[in-house]
Structure 1
Amino acid sequence: MLVRLMYASRATESVDPDTLLAILRKSKAHNPTIGVTGALCFSSGIFLQVLEGGRGAVSHLYNAIAADPRHRDVVLLSFEEIDERRFAAWSMGQVNLSRLNPALLMKYSETSTLDPYVVSGRVSLALFDELVATASIVGQP
């Protein structure tokens, strides 16, 4: 059974581009072995991530993330059974914030700042859907 999980968390320490790249590389190496796909957005110390795959694999990965001391304020935004993946092309795609139109954020939020703590999980997933549609998610499978 496939599931989709979306969560938000705050980084406990500064995340520079090299650290983010290391996180993405580790995800891209590990996720295919457990059948997990998804996308990651990081901005202003906030992670917003979608994970898709088998229920056990996604739950295990989420629990590991929630227990990771590099994350705080971990919030489950959405968890649902799905018929098909939305992010099947990415072992872990990354939102290219340089291509992110602030008007897109304004469409779903009170401000043009990414803050999944002030919107619903449904709204955050709709934002990810538009990011896919506008090619704002980059990365190799």
Structure 2
Amino acid sequence: MLVRLLYASRADGVTGEMIDHILAQSRSRNPQMGITGILCHSGDVFMQVLEGGRAVVNGLYNQIVRDNRHSGVTLLHFEEISERRFSSWTMGQVNLQRINPSLVLKYSDKPMLDPFVTSGRASMALLEELIATASIVGRAG
């Protein structure tokens, strides 16, 4: 059974190297676990979608909750799915500081990523639009 999980978290001292490390680790481990998804970030805020088998996705999410690099991990959306929406990415990336703020404003009360005050449904809609506008980088080869 396939599931889709969306969560948000915060991280102190976010650097480009930290983002690169997380993405490299995800891109090397996720294919063997059957995980696909995307990572959005802006400043110290992360929002990530994970897709795959229920047990594997739940196990990975539990690891993330315990990871001391994350704080305030919040489950935003969880659903059983018949097909993957993010199947082209072992772990795609979106730096929301590099896209037009009006796109974020379309789904939020402010033009900055704050999934902690936005509904999970609105956050998923933002991610769908990011796919549609080709704003996601790091497509699987």
- Report if TM-score (shorter chain) is over 0.5: yes
RMSD: 1.0
Aligned to 1:16: 15
- Structure 1 residue runs without a partner (length 5+): none
Report the Cα offset of residue 18 of structure 1.
Answer: 1.1
Aligned to 1:54: 53
Match for 2:3: what amino acid?
Answer: V
Aligned to 2:75: 76
Report the Cα offset of residue 19 of structure 1.
Answer: 1.2
Q: Percent identity?
A: 59
- Structure 2 residue runs without a partner (length 5+): none
CA contact (8 A) 2:96 2:113 kept: no
Tell me the alpha carbon deviations over residues 74-122 of structure 1, each in whole angstroms, 9 at most, x when there is no partner. 1000110001111000000001435511111111111101000010100
Match for 1:118: what amino acid?
Answer: V
Report the Cα offset of residue 140 of structure 1.
Answer: 3.3
For 2:96 and 2:64, how far apart are their aligned partners in 1?
Answer: 22
Tell me the alpha carbon deviations over residues 11-52 of structure 1, each in whole angstroms, 9 at most, x when there is no partner. 1x2111011001100000000010000000111101100000
Q: What's the TM-score, normalizing by structure 1?
A: 0.96
Aligned to 1:127: 126
Moved segments of 4+, more than 4 Å: none
SS at match of 1:108: coil
For 1:135 and 1:66, how far apart are their aligned partners in 2?
Answer: 29
CA contact (8 A) 2:14 2:43 kept: no
CA contact (8 A) 1:7 1:50 kept: yes
Aligned to 2:7: 7
SS at match of 2:85: coil
CA contact (8 A) 1:96 1:138 kept: no
Aligned to 1:35: 34
SS at match of 2:106: helix
Match for 1:97: what amino acid?
Answer: L
Aligned to 2:100: 101
CA contact (8 A) 1:65 1:71 kept: yes
Match for 2:62: what amino acid?
Answer: N
Match for 2:26: what amino acid?
Answer: S
Q: What's the TM-score, normalizing by structure 2?
A: 0.96
